[in-house]
Structure 1
Amino acid sequence: MYARRRWKQVQYMSDLFWKRWVKEYLPQLQERQRCCDTLHTDTVDSSITCSRSADRCELLNQPPFDACHQHIDTDAYVAACNNTLCVYPAVDGLHCQFLEAYAESCSLKEVPLGDWRTTVQCPAVPQVSCLDQYCSEHEFCGDRLGEASCFCRALFASKFNPTNALGEQTVCTQNSATVTLAECLLQDRGINSSVLHLNDPNCKGHLDPQTHMVEFSFDSSDTCGGEVSMNNSQILYKNTIMTRNGSQNGVITRKDQVQIDFSCFYTKPDVQSLSFRIKDSSVVLQVVSGPWNYTLTMAAYTDGGLQNLVESSSELQLNQKVWLQLKADGLDGDAVAMVTDSCWATTQPSTDSSPRYDLVIAGCPNKADQTVTVEGNGLGTSNVFSFNVFQFSGETSAIYLHCKVELCPREGTTCAPTCPASSKRRRRSSRSNTAALITMAWSN
């Protein structure tokens, strides 16, 4: 009975191992195979002395390794050693790799080599397990100070090593600057990414658990102690990545201090060629509605004080704010109020053409457009709404702005809409002939 339970336990652990191997390690092996299928060439390092490398590799033919010669030939090991050490510099840490490989092969043949590491001056290598160590695609697992750690793959590190860079170049956008460093490059320099921050110590890096890249970012609203300046065409960003102030003792530190200054600039897009002209500086409509006979005027301004009228010769840029006033002359303001019920834009003169973009809906700003505001609606015989100039995506034709206004008998009733709009916001006349439509055209 005990043997059966033990066998089930062994079988269960075996199944877990293979499931994990297929899920985690097989993709890594496939990726390594894909990388190995690509031939890469490196320039020859003229500082390497091949004769010295050959002397190092020749140690395989000397004691204590000669005790294993009758079991394992050294020619392939020596050749691989020469071909490698003659090309790659000593900083790559390969001077003991082939000696270790031969010694491991001898141990499988149960041939003792004694304290061979001391003889050939190779440091003792602690046995570490990479079974639970996750490394990204550009890393591999190895021993670092007796613990499993992720090292940069040579191909990944090769694009940073010539300039001693620790990561990618700074990326600037209109509102932010971002710099990304590689965790494995930082660890190769003995730098702990968790103690790094920008000028503002509260602005630390974010380590992506999948890619092992560390991102530092700041923007114009939260500069993290950096500098954001502007000139006529560029936005300039400057900041510094540094180690956290202080140490375990509070006064001294025995680790290298880190100070990485970075800067970048973002060239603001030129929108001078995207200009709009209003076809008529103002639109006037004579309206007769029941007992009321009044003149309805729509005019555009470039300021909230309604002092700078937009003329037909004026140029407006995309995203520039404009104010439109709707005004009814000839009405008794004590008896009736004018309400702008809706305003929308089309690419055709027809009010029901498509595409359509709403600015004012049921007397209130379109909640989907944060640039729209409405002032004084239903409080008198005029009101104003504003928005940022736009164009229809993929369209180069004129823009027709339509507004529907209604007259509301005051009679002690509040005519101003309640925003967000409500179906019971005000009492309105049921006569359809109290509504009027007015249209203003813009061209680019």
Structure 2
Amino acid sequence: NITFKDGQIVLVVARDATMPRISLDSIHMLENDPSGHCASVGSTASFAIYQFTVGSCGTRMKEESGFVIYENMMSSVYEVGIGPITWINYEGQLKFQCRYSGSAVEALVVEVNTVPPPPPVSQNGPLRVELRLANGQCTTKGCSDEAMHTSYYSEADYPVTKVLREPVYVEVQILERTDPNLILVLDHCWATSNPEPMSLPQWELLLNGCPYKDDHHLTTMLAVGHLGLQYPSHYKRFVVKMFTFVDQSSLVPLQKRIFIHCTMSVCHPSTTESCEPSCGNRTSEYTY
């Protein structure tokens, strides 16, 4: 029995295939490999199995009448019994071959296993971001927050005057980056009464990307739409109700400016990292 699979010849020899019987221990091919690759890969008292490539053990290839032929020669000793204590062995040879049509059309099943894209190449470098206030005008009743981000205050407009509880629309964006897979993540945003970020007093706006829960007028995260933005994931927007700091002893409002600060990071989403903050019951308020 001869089979041909994946460039391998598999030959199964039965001891009783011929009369007289074949001596399985004496079988060898046209050429024997010193490393033992042409020896049997398995045997019993009745069978021996050989497996080797079509280019080894003396196997030859030829073309004949439109067929591709791989052939080899197996040599072995035949056992011939003469008497109760005397045995005579004769050597015999058997040619075997596999024939294939050189022009046949065969069905081929191909299974393509897709692999995930390679991780992005990362290296240290500057990251420029910008925080600015929107000053779009809402001219119709019930207009969307998106309309407020149609224009922004310039540097010459600051300081901007707001009354208490008036919405302050804040936008943070990544600058000079063109990777659409990058996502801007706001980690921590807070307000102070002077430009120094670590100065006191302070008031929390966002903690771990979520609105500060001890504020009676919670900061609200806004969805960033695709309208007019090439890379929407490079932006984050939120609304703060205008407030003022008070003197801790007299509780008198301080006539000081409010400065907004944020720490942020850039995230690349993957199967294990969604880049979205976990904000408990308020998760539905976030759209990225």
Q: Please, what TM-score do these two structures have when normalized by structure 1?
A: 0.27
Larger relative contact order (CA 8 Å, sep ≥ 6): 2
More strand by share: 2
Structure having the larger proportion of residues in helix: 1
